[in-house]
Structure 1
Amino acid sequence: MTDETLVDRATLPRPDVTAAEAGDILQSRYGLSGAITELGSQQDRNYRLDTDERRYVLKICHVAYATLELEAQNAAIHHISTKVGAPRVPRVIPSTDGQHIVAVTVRDQTYQVRLLEYLEGEGLTHPKHLPRESVAALGALCARLAESLADFSHPGLDRSLQWDLRRAGPVAVQLLSAITDSAARDRIAKTMVSAVRRIQPLAPYLRLQAVHHDVTGDNVVSRRDDKGHLIPDGVIDFGDIIRGWLIGDLAVTCASLLHQADGDPLYILPAVKAYHEVYPLTEQELRALWPLVVARAVILVASSEQQISIDPENDYVRGNLESERRIFDTAVSAPFELMEIAVLNAVGIETATLLTEDWQPLLPDIDPATISFVDLGVQSPHFTAGNWSQADIDWRLLARAAAETGTAATRYGEHRLSRSKLRSAAPPSTFTLHSDICLAGGSVIAAPFAGKVSWKNHHFILVGEGINLHLDGVEPLLEDEADVEAGQSIGTVSGEDGSLGGLRVQLSTLQGTEPPLFCAPREAVAWSQLCPSPAALLGPDVNAPRPASAELFALRQAHLAKPQKNYYEAPPQIERGWKEHMFDVEGRAYVDMLNNVTILGHGHPRLAEAIGEQWLRLNTNSRFHYGAIAEFSERLASLAPEGLDTVFLVNSGSEANDLALRLAWAHTGARHTLCLLEAYHGWSVASDAVSTSIADNPQALTTRPAWVHAVLSPNTYSGTFRGSESAAGYLDAVFAALEAIDAKGEGLAGFIAEPVYGNAGGISLPDGYLTAVYGQVRARGGVCIADEVQVGYGRLGHHFWGFEQQGVVPDIITIAKGMGNGHPLGAVITTRAIAESLEKEGYFFSSAGGSPVSCAAGMTVLDIMADERLQENARVVGDYLKGRLVALIEHHQIVGAVHGMGLYLGLELVRDRTTLEPATQETAAICSRLLDLGVLMQPTGDHLNVLKIKPPLCLTAESADFFVEMLEKVLSEGW
């Protein structure tokens, strides 16, 4: 068949067969009836039939497609079904007279019809985002399918098909005529020419076999794994099966993924790696992969444009066109050379290294050993208090170093902090592919290797054999296009003799293209091979040390106790913070939406200065007499309600709650203590005893000591009793527990609870709940403990203390977390009578609690909170943020409720708004995707289905917006 005939066949519209006519075919030829739904297709007409027992797909095809081709499809399906480990495939259902391909005539037009089993499962096309697990699983599925077809042959496979990538060039030429936009047509044509040029030398080495050639999101069915990820395990639609290039089969799959890649061509690499692990590819095939992906992208766009022109009512094609344009744009966004290296690296194949042994010095008058290299990385001591965001900070630091040492340079392969971007959904280009040198103007520059000089727009290039040297800041000594020998002088550093000048140095193997100065961290391995280190020119110290995150994490896992968990399965290495932002070692900035410890924000210079000054003067234990402990104790007491005037200073919230319980026991002479289910109060023996969260301790409900009495958590949204009138039900549970304690005749020590239900997700207690409980507890001689460790200290915005929201005054207040902004500091505030009860058991002492440094930290935190009006910010920004989160409920069924106030909020995610089934797996996956988008977030609650939103109180409205926008992106696109 000629290419012209091939394209003519491709121009056919879908068969003109209505749903009613399809029903007649099903009844007359297969004896089946039921509900009929049309399915999308480009050139077939497909209908799904739902009967009482099962579902089927009726495929109606033009007679222009030979019966032999359809027989090949049926035979391939049967062949695959006999292979162990092969994907699921649909069965071909015979007609009532035993035929697998039936000729039918509809309104004088003859068609060929087949009936297939409907393969149950979810497709992959609908989600706008697929996680790495799904991408890898699709690659593995494609490999298993190809492997199962390796020994399949059929005469119907040798056919002409417009999608056959072996014919991509000629087919594209024919299809391009349908594109009326000349600029778009020229761009697409040039792209195809470039792709074909790279494919042609490799073509003789590409394996041929039977291939499905359309393993895309539309043509697979998936199940969900235990993390909620879509994992494809079945394949449908064998309409494009041919004998073709094996690597072309994978190229089709990779191209299909690009519409979900969010513009990142490296998104396909997990699929490539997974494919290669199942069904290994040759190096030539791997080198051909990306050009074939680009060729497929061209054919997709050109074919859809043409199909729309001849079948304008085809909504299926029209709906696909936008994603196919997105595929094309992503495919052409990266150089072929970059993707080739990335693909090879993904499967463990190393590319050749640059040979530099014979190179001559670039700066013959300067000894590389005398060059000082400036640290501009994330952990650089030169950076503090956000100064890395100042314009030209890198050049200014470089010039300062050069003024001190004579010659200074920046480092290659460094993740520049100055290149970081706040509130960015994509990782910024922080990886440095060049070196800047500050040195004496007029310094001689020599050619390290032989080549030809190119001088354009003040950009100097020495073009060598397989390598180019790019220089900026050069006064050239040669004419443009001049030939030079190794060691020959080619220019001088711009600037007057004796003054400092700047020289930019970059190597590149790309021909005819100026390389980027920086790349994103995920591209660093590939780009560093295209733009190798200038170590041969400037000495080995020009290379910045690479982050050892994986090695450090392994070290952590080897020596840190296993119960001491970490956020995320593959956590970023965080080494810097600033305000509500945290930075990993690659310069990626994250909006910190969960760090309630750093109440002021990260890296506050005023706090650091206060702690440093105090440490230089004195730090000791609290049994010594010094002014800070008296001043800080007085300030804490002044924050509490009248009568709570006595302070204990401790190290942590666990210690504070443990001490509060001991105070209750000592003061009442009783031990029985009332607490709430789903609560968390700490890890010491006593505080853990009253912690009942099964998320923190799966055995919590079966291992409480006899003195602990846990009552129903008063959760009016998803608890036992729901709604605004539910308080009575929860109070009845408390009263029943109190009566049970009364019956023991051993007295009541007290009641401990967070005034806002922090661990469960910032859930407010029912109105009047604490008033009623506190009254009953005190009537029995018990004391009331308000655990303000998480929710208090201004975080609620509308109130400084959580108990103020309930209109009560506790007997004991415990605090920690933010009161030291990360410095280990906690406190218990109570009455003098309760405090002095402890002396019956001896004196109290905390080694670091109330030390001079701790007190300095605590007072400075209070000063900054007042001066920067952080409680007011928590109210204003918190209310704004809550309003935006509440608006998500209308658009996303998974969002059940928004809890809390100020900057202690919880977003509860449910699978069903009626049953309120917790969306536990989804919440974990959403947090993982948010990390990829630059937001730090974790789940909380007994079912780990609540996003715990408790950022630093300096959170800006811009960062709140970014968080909501990224969350909405995840909820809309998938996770």
Structure 2
Amino acid sequence: MSGASGRQDEMAAIGSLLAERYGIAGTITPLPGEHDLNYRVEAADGTRYLLKLHAPGDADELAMQVAVLDHLAKAAPDLPVSRALPDRSGAQSAPAEIRGPRTARLLTWLPGDVWSRSSVRGPASVETLGRLLGQLDRSLEGFAHAGARRLYAWDIGRAGMHLENLRFIEDAEKQAAVRAILERFTAEVLSRLEACPRQVIHNDANDYNVLLDASGRVSGLLDFGDMVETFRVVEIAVAGAYALIGTPDPVETIARLAAAYHAANPISEAEAGLVFDLVRTRYAVSMCMAARQIRDNPENTYLLVSQEDVWRELQRLQAENPALAVARIRDACGFAPVPQAARIERWLERNAHDFSPVIRPQTARPKVLALDLTASGPDAAAWASLDADGAERLIEARVAEAGADFAIGLYGEDRAVYKGDAFDMPGARRTVHLGVDLFAPAGEPVHAPFAGKVAFIHDDAVACGFGPTVLLEHRTDTGDVFWTLYGHLSRRGVQKLSIGQKVARGEAFAAFGAAEENGNWSPHLHFQVVTDHLGLEGRMHGVGVRDHWQVWRAVSPDPSVVFGFDMPASVTVARDKDFLVRERHRRIGRSLSIAYSAEPLKIVGGEGTYLIDDEGNRWLDMVNNVCHVGHCHPRVVKAAQAQMGKLNTNSRYLHDTLVEYSRRLAALFPDPLNVCFFVNSGSEANDLAIRLARAYTGNRDIVTVDHAYHGHLSSLIDVSPYKFAGRGGEGRPAHVRVAEMPDLYRGRFRYGDADAGRNYAEDVRRQVEALAAEGRRPALFFSEGILGTGGQLTLPENYLKEAYAHVRAAGGLCLADEVQVGFGRVGSHMWAHEIQGVVPDIVTLGKPIGNGHPMAAVVTTEAVAAAFANGMEYFNTFGGNPVSAEIGLAVLDVIRDERLMHHCKVTGDRLMAGARALATRHEIIGDVRGHGLFNGIELVRDRATLEPAAEELDFVIVEMKRKHRILLSSEGPHHNVLKVKPPAPFGAAECDRFLAALDETLAALPRR
């Protein structure tokens, strides 16, 4: 029978099986498989299935595959794994006679392309695979089956058994590499592995068993035939061995996968430390298995599919520094890269007072000059030239100009001036300085800062040309060993040292080398603290990789503590956005939101109405009402710098500026508002206002406006329906009453209703009456002059006048929250509440008051302030400090001298007129409102029903950022209001740019 005829008969037999057992007819396509026969079946209606024809073998193994899908159907129904389909009799497997006796199983088809063939695989593929495997293994924790307890050759937890298969690897180089891995496994890895958790795992997330969708995210996991009960961490190692194939940085791939697994199913530090070894072990096992199976079955080409990749990738892993790889994986999982590093740093800090100087200047407290040794620095060309005489003369000139004793090069500095392969690592360049360079004349003695012994000496002048390096070994009182590294030494002095030689604290054991024995560099000492020499010993690196800085920083922490200079000896190493997001989540907390989280910005500068990112792009800032007079206004910056150079202390001491500022600020309010309390934030101001009101009235209850937000302190969450009635909120507290939000666009009383203000204020009266019915009275009524979180809502005429009257009639006080809208932003007045023609009892100020400096204030009457002076001292450590007061004065001066209040009115009128003109062309604009430069543009899908267009607004915000570099945000209960509150210098040009961009973006809105 010919091959073609045989295949036709096989397809016919499979077709009959599908029809008889499952009632399915369709197109049958063979798929790869090692032992089983696999087929894609596409029925006439387009539904796809996976047909597996299992080879004869262990019945327990097949039963296990059936049982695990049953288990997952109950324990994890949402996981993207195939689900078993019963035949017409209800059985999940059936006998079949195709290429011999087999067992047939029909499974649901999972969409996607096989990982090995996908063109879109990338970091998201790795992360989603790790997360899926973590979720899978967490779901399998309670699963047990006899079939999983087999002695299985593909279980790398039993890798030692493959030592006997080494003879089948004919290539001597490959055999030696595999032998070394397996011997290490049996001698060192297995004993650590045996302390790790065991369970049933998938054990075969290879690049033919993982499916990816069009975006490169994992959409399915196939084939549970390799499941085994083994060590849990093996799951990560197996998947990592395949995921890293062809990636530019294999350790990064392993680390990313392990981190994603850990996020879904936390692993231990011990497991994280084993992953790298186990990935290499997987490759060794694979090579042993392939060598034996190919000998026994040379015609099975499937066995050869991945062996070329395996050897290439194993060679790449062998080139990695294993200690550094483990540190990177530990770090990715949230563990300290070097476990002992933090303890060593604390020891250094505790004992720093007793350290001896490394070099001994003539003065007791040396003056030090920091040199800029970076490629972008002013002397970059001189450093790059490596001309000994020229560099030395340049350094001497710089030291003399500064009147310094000696010069230093900084820790963390980017030494991009270095050239040559000596500073390369697999997949990355090492450029970030791991030590401090001390520049002094050749022959300058080098002293040990604390006692130790000579651990390593390295002098390879031919290879590197940088002269001898010595590492002294030290031990902390907790038993941790670390080293101090001294590079670019004089060869003559080092030749006198011997390994193990003790060195006393303060002992001169070496000297600075001359330029000619140190690569023609000007004479200097490279000093470095080392918590883990990574097996490099005397060849320890002096520069690290920027992208892995958090790991290198643990390997070689900042050595500034050893010197105690009166100036920084280190710099902050800039990192990419992905790392900063990760660290924010890890160190700061996920509840702190990130603007434009899908594509966050890394902002490094500001100027006027613009923010500047790390690539130099300028972004028009239309949401930052904090930097009221413009980002980094020179006048405000100068005032802060000048006062910080003189004095900054608390307000218990007399200071002219504090009194002058309080006078200037109070003068902006009518009598009787003439007493100021100074605090640090709008939240603190509102919290203090509640205390003032309760002290004056003797009442405790608060009336607030619906959907308002007044601050993040517990007392203010209580009076902020935006928070307590939203996600994560605990509902309205008993001491708070919520008044109806006066919304003239979509509320009960709308534009054109002359009595809207009085009618909305009636609900304030009802809340007051509800308190009275319970024998209680209000202490305070909270309201903004324009409702920010309510959707930039302007208040109806007379609303505050009527509301204040109701509250005051019941003995309560009235507060105007000007934290967002104050300081002339509304254009016609300095304060938004003035538009309503009212005088509050308390006004709270924040955000724009200091142009970004953390300061705020409460302004109230003498009577209220007197009631608060009840014997309990009020004190705020930072409120009203001299620096804040000077900044506050500078802001008031700029508002006055640059006529910013008038500017806000003119520009705001222009903006709202332009937006209303756009509304005639774009039906989606339902309302344009605001005063000055505090505006809201509400988007609706239907002007009759006012259906909110929240998704459309999201599109607008993203497009305005992506295409036009304009930063905006949303507001309102339905998240459909485009809020506009830029820095006050926002002018006509910026306004017209915004309107043109908005017009273009609205025209491009996708049709629903």
Are the aligned partners of 1:72 and 1:154 in contact in 2 as well (CA < 8 Å)? no
CA distance in 2, matches of 1:241, 1:296: 16
Equivalent residue for 2:93, pick from 71, 76, 100 = 100
Q: What residue ranges of structure 2 are gaps of 5+ in the alignment?
A: 1-6, 194-198, 289-305, 345-355, 384-393, 417-427, 448-453, 474-481, 502-508, 573-586, 595-602, 608-613, 915-925, 955-966, 995-1008
CA distance in 2, matches of 1:701, 1:787: 20
CA distance in 2, matches of 1:191, 1:897: 75
Are the aligned partners of 2:238 and 2:279 in contact in 1 as well (CA < 8 Å)? no
CA distance in 1, matches of 2:622, 2:771: 47
* 1:114 aligned onto 2:85: no
Q: CA deviation at 1:336?
A: 3.9
Equivalent residue, structure 1, for 2:181: 199
CA gap of 1:541–1:773, structure 2 versus 1, over 3 A, is closer
Equivalent residue for 2:660, pick from 604, 623, 628 = 628
CA distance in 1, matches of 2:369, 2:468: 33
Deviations 1:71-93 (A, max 9, x none): 83443442786899997786644
Q: CA deviation at 1:115?
A: 1.6
CA distance in 2, matches of 1:25, 1:409: 80
SS of aligned partner of 1:636: coil
CA gap of 1:429–1:245, structure 2 versus 1, over 3 A, is same
Equivalent residue, structure 2, for 1:714: 743
Query: Superposed, which structure 2 residues align to 1:840-859 within 5 Å?
Result: 855-859=885-889
Query: Superposed, which structure 2 residues align to 1:725-744 within 5 Å?
Result: 734=760, 736-737=762-763, 740=766
CA gap of 1:513–1:401, structure 2 versus 1, over 3 A, is same
Query: Superposed, which structure 2 residues align to 1:892-907 within 5 Å?
Result: none
Deviations 1:819-843 (A, max 9, x none): 13545442549xxxxx699799899
Are the aligned partners of 2:369 and 2:406 in contact in 1 as well (CA < 8 Å)? no
Q: What residue ranges of structure 1 are gaps of 5+ in the alignment?
A: 1-13, 175-188, 223-229, 300-319, 356-365, 420-426, 548-564, 582-586, 638-642, 830-834, 884-895, 924-935, 962-975
Q: CA deviation at 1:339?
A: 1.0
CA distance in 2, matches of 1:374, 1:137: 61
Equivalent residue for 1:28, pick from 8, 20, 25 = 20
Query: Superposed, which structure 2 residues align to 1:482-521 within 5 Å?
Result: 492-494=513-515, 501-505=523-527, 509=534, 515=541, 517-519=543-545
CA gap of 1:45–1:571, structure 2 versus 1, over 3 A, is same
CA distance in 2, matches of 1:514, 1:117: 54
CA distance in 1, matches of 2:260, 2:178: 23
Deviations 1:228-248 (A, max 9, x none): xx999x975315558999865
Q: CA deviation at 1:644?
A: 8.6
Are the aligned partners of 1:133 and 1:231 in contact in 2 as well (CA < 8 Å)? yes
Equivalent residue, structure 2, for 1:703: 734
Equivalent residue, structure 1, for 2:358: 368
Query: Superposed, which structure 2 residues align to 1:744-823 within 5 Å?
Result: 752-759=782-789, 763-765=791-793, 769-771=795-797, 773-774=799-800, 786-793=816-823, 803=832, 810-812=838-840, 814-821=844-851, 822=853
CA gap of 1:676–1:546, structure 2 versus 1, over 3 A, is same
CA distance in 2, matches of 1:158, 1:629: 80
Are the aligned partners of 2:237 and 2:278 in contact in 1 as well (CA < 8 Å)? yes
The residue type equivalent to 2:278 in the other structure is L
Q: CA deviation at 1:30?
A: 2.0
Are the aligned partners of 1:415 and 1:432 in contact in 2 as well (CA < 8 Å)? yes
* 1:454 aligned onto 2:481: no
Equivalent residue, structure 1, for 2:240: 254
Q: CA deviation at 1:734?
A: 1.3
Equivalent residue, structure 2, for 1:152: 147
Q: CA deviation at 1:875?
A: 12
Query: Superposed, which structure 2 residues align to 1:531-542 within 5 Å?
Result: none
CA gap of 1:295–1:838, structure 2 versus 1, over 3 A, is same
CA distance in 2, matches of 1:836, 1:790: 25
Equivalent residue, structure 2, for 1:438: 439
CA gap of 1:606–1:778, structure 2 versus 1, over 3 A, is same
Q: CA deviation at 1:788?
A: 1.8
Q: CA deviation at 1:632?
A: 1.6
CA distance in 2, matches of 1:146, 1:658: 49
The residue type equivalent to 1:238 in the other structure is F
Equivalent residue, structure 2, for 1:651: 678
CA gap of 1:200–1:459, structure 2 versus 1, over 3 A, is farther
Query: Superposed, which structure 2 residues align to 1:85-484 within 5 Å?
Result: 92-96=84-88, 98=91, 100-101=93-94, 103=96, 113-116=104-107, 129=124, 138-139=133-134, 141-142=136-137, 145=140, 152=147, 199-202=181-184, 204=186, 212-215=202-205, 237-241=223-227, 249-254=235-240, 264-265=252-253, 266-270=255-259, 286=275, 288-291=277-280, 335-343=321-329, 368=358, 370=360, 406=405, 433-443=434-444, 449-450=456-457, 452-456=459-463, 458-460=465-467
Are the aligned partners of 2:622 and 2:982 in contact in 1 as well (CA < 8 Å)? yes
- The range that moved more, 810-819 or 132-141, is 132-141
Are the aligned partners of 2:457 and 2:468 in contact in 1 as well (CA < 8 Å)? no
CA distance in 2, matches of 1:284, 1:693: 45
Are the aligned partners of 1:44 and 1:59 in contact in 2 as well (CA < 8 Å)? yes
CA gap of 1:120–1:790, structure 2 versus 1, over 3 A, is farther
Are the aligned partners of 1:785 and 1:810 in contact in 2 as well (CA < 8 Å)? no
Q: CA deviation at 1:789?
A: 0.8
CA gap of 1:49–1:158, structure 2 versus 1, over 3 A, is farther
The residue type equivalent to 2:709 in the other structure is Y
CA gap of 1:136–1:371, structure 2 versus 1, over 3 A, is farther
TM-score under structure 2 length normalisation = 0.51
RMSD: 8.6
* 1:860 aligned onto 2:890: yes
CA distance in 1, matches of 2:325, 2:883: 54
Equivalent residue, structure 1, for 2:857: 826
Q: CA deviation at 1:438?
A: 1.6
CA distance in 2, matches of 1:329, 1:949: 57
SS of aligned partner of 2:87: coil
* 1:607 aligned onto 2:639: yes
% identity of equivalent residues: 20
CA gap of 1:78–1:828, structure 2 versus 1, over 3 A, is same
The residue type equivalent to 1:237 in the other structure is D
CA distance in 1, matches of 2:867, 2:560: 69
Equivalent residue, structure 2, for 1:66: 55
CA distance in 1, matches of 2:30, 2:401: 68
Q: CA deviation at 1:918?
A: 11
Deviations 1:438-461 (A, max 9, x none): 221344789985555233464446
SS of aligned partner of 1:60: strand
The residue type equivalent to 1:714 in the other structure is D
CA distance in 1, matches of 2:657, 2:340: 69
Q: CA deviation at 1:858?
A: 1.5
Q: CA deviation at 1:202?
A: 3.1
CA distance in 2, matches of 1:115, 1:802: 72
CA distance in 1, matches of 2:327, 2:524: 32
The residue type equivalent to 2:799 in the other structure is V
The residue type equivalent to 1:116 in the other structure is L
TM-score under structure 1 length normalisation = 0.53
CA distance in 2, matches of 1:373, 1:713: 71
Q: CA deviation at 1:59?
A: 1.8
Q: CA deviation at 1:677?
A: 0.8
Are the aligned partners of 1:903 and 1:951 in contact in 2 as well (CA < 8 Å)? yes
CA gap of 1:468–1:30, structure 2 versus 1, over 3 A, is same
Give aligned pairs, total: 781
Q: CA deviation at 1:432?
A: 5.0
Deviations 1:775-812 (A, max 9, x none): 7658989899652212333678x8886849x9755544
The residue type equivalent to 1:826 in the other structure is A
